[in-house]
Amino acid sequence: MYQGQAQSNEAFLAAANLAALLTKPFSFLHSDHLEIKGISKDDLVTLSLNASFQKPLNTLIKKQFAIDEIKIPASLFIKVKSDDKLKRMAAVLTTMKGEELQALANHIAATILHRKILECVVKQERQAVIKQLGEAAFNTAIREAAVFYPDLGKLDKKHSLKKFLSSDADDSETQAGDTFVHLGYRTILNIVNEIEPVLGKLLELRLPKNPAVENETPSKFSKIQTQQFTKLFYKKAGRQ
């Protein structure tokens, strides 16, 4: 497949997924946002499996989060389907599969923290980082970040690896691992907000809540940081 055709297919899929997200948001919503009074999350998921309940559930979610008030201009769909790489990236980030988004978030977190990860000399600490980030993201930190994405490391606001690997909190194994990925998620959300704020409103509903790291995550990007983020995205997300 030619690169141009691949980009066209990706753009078409992103535009279609955006339309689906607006009309059937329940299937895109992160479980952290499933907060409907009187109905548990498990019951909501069970109800969603029944075709008869899908339309009323989507109507309820659209009303609760005022999704019908989120207006995506037609010009954005045109730009997504054109050669505007930033707009297309923002659209793909907003609609890509949850597991792909999580993997990308780990790569981003590893890139931002690469200097601290490179300083890990104690075997036990390195193994803990690998366990949290995954082997692929760890390799991004130690083999690629300093060469290809050095300016993303400047987004590190003095984060402490000890905090990310802390075992003090309840259910610490889950919470510590999520801290890395939340750093990546919040960075993704911030760059989407910079590129196209209306998409950021939708993306936020697809991400887990984590107020603990929200104020510690970079919200502004230089031109070179945006370029390096885009390069990282197109490489790690397998996009053209």
pLDDT in tens, 80-96: 666 678 888 998 999 98
> How many CB atoms sit inside 10 A of residue 97's CB?
9
pLDDT band at 224 (very low <50, low <70, confident <90, very high): very high
Paired residues of 39 in beta bridges: 36
Residue tagged 């300083």 (tokens): 119
Report H helices in the chain: 3-23, 41-48, 51-64, 74-80, 85-95, 98-112, 114-118, 123-133, 135-139, 145-148, 161-164, 172-195, 197-204, 211-214, 223-236
Does 215 have pLDDT greater than 50? no
Tokens of 148: 């290809």
- What pTM does this model have? 0.84
Across 114-128, average pLDDT: 89
206 phi and psi angles, rounded to 5 deg: -95, -5
Q: What is the pLDDT of residues 133-168, one digit of tens each?
A: 999 999 999 999 999 999 999 988 777 777 777 644
